[in-house]
Amino acid sequence: DAKTTQPNSMESNEEEPVHLPCNHSTISGTDYIHWYRQLPSQGPEYVIHGLTSNVNNRMASLAIAEDRKSSTLILHRATLRDAAVYYCILRDGGNTPLVFGKGTRLSVIA
């Protein structure tokens, strides 16, 4: 799988938007961009994924650069429950295993 680069940690105030960046300069044309998060003492949880167009769901939005070499996960209003490690992962169009990097540890301050 192609590699992604994320900041080690970020901090946000509660009820403010959070933009979590991810660089993936070696992405291939068939790689999907996936985001998962892991809350403390839990298994990873799917957040969102996309290929080329920006995506929205009830949890977050995914903004994908036109050249697809970077993307940004947007949490519109951070809550304390959003404190977690967020992983940006490239995956081909099949069901191949996710390859987790170190992710970004998001802290949310009340």
Partner 1 sequence: GAGVSQSPSNKVTEKGKDVELRCDPISGHTALYWYRQSLGQGLEFLIYFQGNSAPDKSGLPSDRFSAERTGGSVSTLTIQRTQQEDSAVYLCASSSNANRVSLFGSGTRLTVV
Nearest one of 81, 79, 76 to 63, comparing CA atoms: 76
SS3 80: helix
Question: For partner 1, which stretch binds (CB under 8 A), given 4-12, 35-43, 60-68, 72-80?
Answer: 35-43
The only residue of 3, 102, 107, 109 in contact with partner 1, by rule CB under 8 A: 102
The only residue of 43, 66, 67, 81 in contact with partner 1, by rule CB under 8 A: 43
**Is 40 near partner 1 (CB under 8 A)?**
no
Q: What is the C-alpha separation between 107 and 110, in angstroms, rounded?
A: 10
Nearer to partner 1, 32 or 74 (CB): 32
Nearer to partner 1, 15 or 45 (CB): 45
SS3 81: helix
Residues that bind partner 1 (CB under 8 A): 32, 34, 36, 38, 42-46, 49, 91, 93-103
